Copies of this chain bind each other. A is one copy, B any other.
Amino acid sequence: MNDLPPSPFDDHYGLELDEATDELVRGHVAVRQELLQPVGLVHGGVHASVAEALASWGTNVGVVPEGKIGLGQSNHTSFLRPMSEGTIHAVARRRHGGRTTWIWDVEMTDDEGRLCAVSRVTIAVRER
């Protein structure tokens, strides 16, 4: 994924992108102390950030070549199972690729494959 532009915040919390097409994006984050909230669980903002990043990447893979840009419009993340260690494994699948909005479902699992968070992310497609 070396040809992607740098994303400072994603680097800051440690997202690694593994695959990015306009239909499927995968990435992971190694859980570290600095990603936790006060009682030692991964902060929900980390899961939301991962979902936002993957959906944005995938949309931009599709729309940037057409001279457009995808910008986050709505991110709805549900937290199902707390994590405190290991790796967040994330997969974003496109559900809708319209002229003005793309919608993605993102699943985040732990090292045992258990579903820990799901996100519905809407990306607005605009002229650059």
Q: Are A7 and B38 in contact (CB under 8 A)?
A: yes
For the complex, would chain A's binding face be called helix, strand, loop or mixed by DSSP majority?
Answer: mixed
Q: Which residues A15-57 have CB closer than 8 A to chain B?
A: 33-39, 41-46, 48-50, 52-53, 56
Contacts A75-B76, A78-B74 known; A43 to B37 CB distance under 8 Å?
A: no
Q: Are A74 and B74 in contact (CB under 8 A)?
A: yes
* In the complex, chain B residues whose CB is within 8 Å of the CB of A89: none
* In the complex, chain B residues whose CB is within 8 Å of the CB of A42: 9
Chain A 100-113 interface 0/1 with B at a Cβ cutoff of 8 Å (1 = within): 11010101000000
* In the complex, chain B residues whose CB is within 8 Å of the CB of A72: 44, 79
Interface residues of A (CB under 8 A from B): 4-13, 33-39, 41-46, 48-50, 52-53, 56, 69, 71-82, 95-96, 98, 100-101, 103, 105, 107, 115, 118, 120, 122, 124
